[in-house]
Amino acid sequence: MGYTPMLQLRSSFWRVAHGREIELGPRGIIMAIINVTPDSFSDGGRYESVDAAVEHALQSVSEGAAIIDIGGESTRPGAAEVSPAEEQSRVLPVIEALRGRSDALISIDTYRAETARLAVGAGAHIINDVFGLQKEAEIARVSTDTGAGLCLMHTGREREKLPDVIADQYHFLVRSLEIAAEAGVMRERIVLDPGFGFAKDADENLELMARFTELQRFGLPLLAGTSRKRFVGTVTGRDAAERDVATAASSALLRLQGAAVFRVHNVAINRDALAVADAMLAARRDFEQREG
């Protein structure tokens, strides 16, 4: 009986700051969202205080998160921009308080080079840039100087997009990778994020999910961030706070298409969904080895 070979998930090590690394490939890695903001779209204001943010972060680690992503400015559509000083006053105390409290890696969600530099100095390992180095290219130099890992996200904001969703991914992310290379960033420090929800309508997001395997041509690990996004609500009819089940379904589907890291609000439900996907992938690998 014939069968279609499974997409092979490459195993690699993401090299990050402070001499750390994390293996990507054998199992889905969860990055927990910690919004230290008053206005994020689904949990704004819940974790504004340092104590609340740290407690939530440690709870997320206990539920299975390997990475904690700390952000001090909402990236929802229409959110008010905050000053660099305000952003830093929100995130730096949380990073400092978390440092050494767990084995989880700490990620700073920012597009500002100075915030990134201060955050890595405070203990962060990864810089998660939602503008893919194309807002402040100096972030690439921060990575080179500190050894920080980089998550480079695709966005359609503040520019004209190409009509084909995958062509636009390559158009944007190739430039991000050029900026990184020009600054001397090693590829082993880079993960790519196709930016679900960032200036993409529901149809574009669903097509991006359906064609996700085409992004494997980059030859780099991929992060999926569908958590509670508007297109998930469009499909399910659910409000933001009620989208965790559908998010977990999308995480499992994207895991089967090669995603390595999953940025989510609800760690526990996505951990379980990814455990099923990983078990299925392992069973398929065993079958293929038996079949030769």
Catalytic residue among 117, 230, 263, 271, which?
A: 263
Catalytic residue among 229, 243, 255, 271, which?
A: 229
Beta-ladder partners of 31: 67, 263
Question: Has 229 been annotated as catalytic?
Answer: yes
Residue 127 corresponds to which tokens in the numbers above? 């810089």
- Give the residue carrying structure tokens 């695709």: 154
Residue type, 224: A
Q: Provide the annotated active-site residues.
A: 229, 263
